[in-house]
Structure 1
Amino acid sequence: MKEVEPVSPTLPLAQVNTLAAQDGQPVHRLLAEEIEDLDKRRFVMRKLDAIEDIIQTSDDLKENKIRLWADRLERHPSTVKDWLAKARQDGLTAIAREVRSDAGRLKGNKRWKHSLQYWTEFILNTYNDGVKAKLGMTRNMTFKQAKAHAELELGLKWDEYPSHDFVYRVLKPIIEAENRKVRNPGQGPGIIIKVINDEGEEEDIVVERSNQVWQIDHTRLDNLLADEGGGLTGSVWITAVIDTWSSCVMGYYLSFDSAGSHEVALALRHAILPKQYGPEYQLQKEWEAGGLPEYIVTDRAKEFKSAHLKHVASALGIKLRRRLYKEQGGTIERLFLALKTEFAALILGFKGGSLQERPDQPEKYACVVFEDYDRKLVRHLVDHHNQHLYPRVANQTLSMRWQAGLPGFKPRMPESERSLDICLMKSTKRRVQERGCVEFRKLIHTASVSRDEEGNWQYDKTANFLKAYEGREVMLLYNPTNIVYILVYSLEKNGQPAEYLGTIRARDWLSERLSWREWEAIKKKIRDEGNAIDESSILAEQRDLYNDSIKQVKTMRGRRRKESTRLTKASPHSDKVVELHPPQAASANPTKSKEVESQVETAAPEPLESAQEQVEVQAKPPLSKSKEVESQVETAAPEPLESAQEQVEVQARPALYVVSNWNEFVEDSW
């Protein structure tokens, strides 16, 4: 094939076709075939077919032909018209060309207030500094930093600084080198949500207003938190509540433990109630979202099927439903993705959502405590997420859309905050102590305090409503995130429901907030500091007291034995006591004992029973002889007891125990 000379794109279409016809094939077709990417080549060829077909069509049918090719190519008709105008002006080779002549070069804008080099360096430095600080930097985060610098610090307008696309082009080589992949969260639930109820029946919910359908889900945030001492406490779980109609965040709850039905109930309570935050949160907008929803849609996790959550929903008049398809949870999944890329990635201690995203040794950078993290999260949800523009409506933020979608522009609120006490996480029983006090977690709570005119807490005897309940048990309901205030209920009795009595406050805690986890850490710190003190003197004193008491007991017992022996010997009845087996009995008559031993050795072995019978027979003399012995004892002079003892020992086996003092033996044994 003969080589085709380069054709100037500025030649008229007729001249281009004439030069291409000399070789028998149009030049633009040759240029399209040189594209290496197969998908791009196929698309360019279809564009050329479309332009040629439209050019050959009559003027009456040209509009229909443009719309037809726009549907085939999945482009807007105006885009096809732009291609057609470009082909008429520059020729079909301009359509077939793969890249522009100035492609790859960064170009600025003449309306920018600073040079191209200034903005390029700012974008690169911002991104690199964030990466060095182990933050999860992305292109979108870098653009927001550039936008904040231009509008807040330089006072520039939207067209006087680089656009979103320019920042992406600057960072494209770096991002491609790192091979980062961004997950697509899906398209969201749309207007109709397919759900199932507890009976397994399918249902279609048409979302038409705010507070109609709320979605609840939870995830683990990608930050490592620290305690006040600098030690790691791990990452937290967030249970978020979001409105489907406006994508506005209604409420949340943070917990170190994996979320369950109690955490879901606390997040729901926070979403329903009005929200008020102090100046330490540095909020620029108000968190006005609240009210009661009609439906709560969740996934099929076990915590959403619990009896506790069903009881809460039934008490508040809310219908529980579960998503039929996983893809319909895109609204809340986009929130979690935004929390990861726009919030967690900018907090020190960012550990990433996977091993591929995890920075090196993120625990070294963990220095944010739970309270600071909670304040940062509240500001992000109120001043950042809820102020985003709603994508389907122009000039309307998520918060504005929620307000506009309310029936009558007012949310449906519960009768009182007491009706939401069922959502509190924990309940326990306590006995009311003296003066109407209740001990809870080593804290003394009382109702005998009230605020004075200056706002300080002072003792108020008249405010003690627990005085009448001294010695009786009551039910306590509390939120683990703040145990300074506890709700008190009476116990159910005889089928009567519990009655709300009032709120008690921690007597010795001046601050308005104290979480259960903080209080446990404080108590542990007190115990550790107490263990670090030298207590050797205390232990030595306790040891000496014990040892002295043991010695005194032993000495006293010995004295008692000696005294008992002395009194026994000094008693007038001691001479009449017969000692059964004196220690001298065995050696009193050695000749007889030797004869007995020789008889035992020489005698043939007999059964045990016969031997015992023989011993008994030998030990008991005949009846006539015993009478003679008795008469002899009565008439004769008293003989020593040793002879009688020797006679018994000769006739029977020696005793196993020899007792010298019977009183002492009885005292020790009994």
Structure 2
Amino acid sequence: MAHLSDRQKAELVRQHLDGVPWTRIAEHSGVTVRTLQRWAARIGAGQLARPPRRDKGASRIPTELVTAIEALAVRRPAPTIAYIHRRVGDIARDRGLPAPGYTTVRQIVHAIDPGLTALAEGGDAAYRDKFELVYRRTTTAPNEQWQMDHTLLDVMILDDKQTSVRPWLTIVLDDYSRAVAGYALAVSAPTSERSALAFHQAASRKRHASWVVSGLPDVLYSDHGSDFTSARIEQVCLDLHVRLIHSRVGVPQGRGKIERFYRTITTELLPHLPGFIPHGTGGTPTSAPMLTLHQLDDVLERFIVDEYNERPHSATGTAPHARWRSGSFIPRMPAHSEDLDALLLTATATRRVQRDGIRFASTRYVSPVLAAYVGEDVTVRYDPRDLGEIRLFHDNAFLCRAIAPERSSETITFADLQSARNTRRRALKQQLRSLSNVASSLPEDTRHRPAAAPHSPSEPDAPAPQSKRHGLRTYASD
């Protein structure tokens, strides 16, 4: 009855101590008298359990066969256990050794260090992603660190030519609160311009009053892609005193928080949109795409502002917006709002200031400041989300913001333009008078004037010729 527990064995021995003969106990329990006496001796010695085998944990298979099994198991492509068993059996017979059984071979293969298996299967990258220790950055305040990354969304939309395309999403996420600070959508692969636009929106005050995340981060963390390492973003971060940190080349670890947001988008928003592409369908949407890029932008903004940023986060237990606004935090803003304009898109060609303003993207933009720059070339920077306003630069210096009256909520009246024209005209007239006074005070030009004839004293001065009077009287005194 080897299946009896230690407690049951002790109970049988106790019956003997109470006066029950061994033979009777053996008859009722089915355990031999010799076994009962051995259990009693172990209880007296303080160890009822069977002593462990001296060879427990040690393999009786020769070391060279164990090594051969492990060597075959880490080959690529990985062979099956049956194949390893057959090969090791052949090797054992050739060397005059006992061949191990299939179960033994399987146990040896499964006992191989998982790190060694990962290194054999995927190399350094696979081992690093699964087993290397990582340093997880922790932040203690909003805007201490922002993360920025791209993803290809699992949805099809229509581009300007009504062609089905998959859009790219660039996200800027506050590490402390998990709040989305900014984003950018595009139908083309990520570029430094899209990254700059996402950072511009993140740092600026938003059009949506409920979206309060803004300011400048202390650290901007991104991967090592060329779109994040452009001189444009580096220069802006340098000017704004933002520390730009890139992850190691080919190492995606450290951006798990932003990857978690991408999963939220994929599981909670995209399945409700036309053109959604379920995972594992090979890029085939469940329905025909209907949304344009602008419409998807509106849907995504509503989801971020009204849902994601306002509900408790699973990791922090607090809504991202509430956590970002917690305490007495005041975001650090640029000294001048135009300091961020270098992040905006630049027009492909300069524009010349006309008398009625700037013509850009089939739209007229006006500003009173332009009255002083009619006929001169300026550089246009703009945000494709808001073409109601553009920023103008002259000789690489910020000039002004110009608005399109039909697109912008702001207006420029005729009185504003008239005042700007009059101011400019008065300034020019004042400059003209000053220059005229200077010209009048200059000495007379006598460089090529002929010399005067010598004057004879005997000859009387000839009377000055009188002009011939015409018959038309022009004044009453004539």
TM bucket, shorter chain? 0.5 to 0.7
Number of the residue aligned with 1:422: 342
1:440 aligned onto 2:353: no
Partner residue, 2:399: 501
The answer for the alignment partner of 2:277 in structure 1 is: 351
The answer on 1:209 being equivalent to 2:141 is yes
Q: Does 1:306 align with 2:259?
A: no
What do residues 198-247 of structure 1 show as CA deviations (whole Å, max 9, x unaligned)? xxxxxxx6522221111100111111113699x33422211100111222
**1:222 alignment partner in structure 2:** 154
SS in 1 for 2:369: coil
Aligned AA (1:399): H
Q: How many matched pairs?
A: 293
* Structure 1 equivalent of residue 239 of structure 2: 315
1:383 and 1:272 map into 2 onto residues whose CA distance is 19
- Report the counterpart of residue 370 of structure 2 in structure 1: 466
User: Which structure shows the higher helix fraction?
Assistant: 1
Structure 1 residue 355 displacement after superposition: 3.8
Tell me which structure has the larger Cα radius of gyration: 1
The residue aligned with 1:544 is none
For 1:275, the aligned partner's letter is K
Residues 211 and 293 in structure 1, CA contact (< 8 A), matched pair in contact too? yes
Question: What pairs up with 1:637-652 in 2 under 5 angstroms?
Answer: none
The one-letter amino acid of 1:398's match is: P
Aligned counterparts of 1:192 and 1:367: Cα–Cα separation in 2 = 43
For residues 646-665 of structure 1, the aligned pairs below 5 Å read: none
1:274 aligns with 2:205: yes
Provide the rounded CA distance (Å) in 2 between the counterparts of 1:288 and 1:264.
20
Q: Is 1:402–2:324 an aligned residue pair? A: yes
Counterpart in the other structure of 1:379 = 302
Matched, 1:485 2:389: yes
What is the CA deviation profile of residues 305-344 of structure 1, one whole-angstrom value per residue up to 9, with x for unaligned ones?
A: 1111111111211111112442211111111111111111
- In the aligned structure 2, how far is the partner of 1:191 from the partner of 1:294? 22
Describe the shift of the 1:216–1:468 C-alpha distance in structure 2 as closer, same or farther (beyond 3 A). Answer: same
Q: Cα deviations across residues 543-571 of structure 1 (Å, max 9, x unaligned)? A: xxxxxxxxxxxxxxxxxxxxxxxxxxxxx
SS in 2 for 1:314: helix
TM-score, length of structure 2 as denominator length: 0.54
Structure 1 residue aligned with 2:218 = 294
| Matched letter for residue 506 of structure 1 | A
Unaligned runs of 5+ residues in structure 1 are 5-12, 25-55, 57-185, 194-204, 279-285, 448-463, 493-497, 514-670
* Residues 155-197 of structure 1, C-alpha deviations (whole Å, 9 max, x = no match): xxxxxxxxxxxxxxxxxxxxxxxxxxxxxxx99xx9954xxxx
Counterparts of 1:228 and 1:311, CA distance in 2: 33
The alpha-carbon distance between structure 1 residues 14 and 226, as it changes in their structure 2 partners (threshold 3 A), is: same
Q: Is the 8 A contact 1:430 1:474 kept in 2?
A: yes
Deviation at 1:417, TM superposition (A): 1.9
- Alpha-carbon contact 2:164-2:289 (below 8 Å) kept: no
Q: Structure 1 residue aligned with 2:379, among 461, 475, 494?
A: 475
1:262 equivalent to 2:166? Answer no
SS of 2:255's partner is helix
Give the AA of the match of 2:143: N
Which runs of 5 or more structure 2 residues have no equivalent in the other structure? 13-27, 32-45, 47-128, 411-478
User: Contact conserved, 1:436 with 1:466, CA < 8 A, in 2?
Assistant: no
* Aligned-partner Cα distance in 2 for 1:348–1:275: 28
- Are 1:244 and 2:178 matched, yes or no? no
* Partner Cα distance (2:236, 2:188) in 1: 21
Matches within 5 A, 1:601-612: none
Root-mean-square deviation (CA), in Å? 3.6
SS in 2 for 1:503: strand
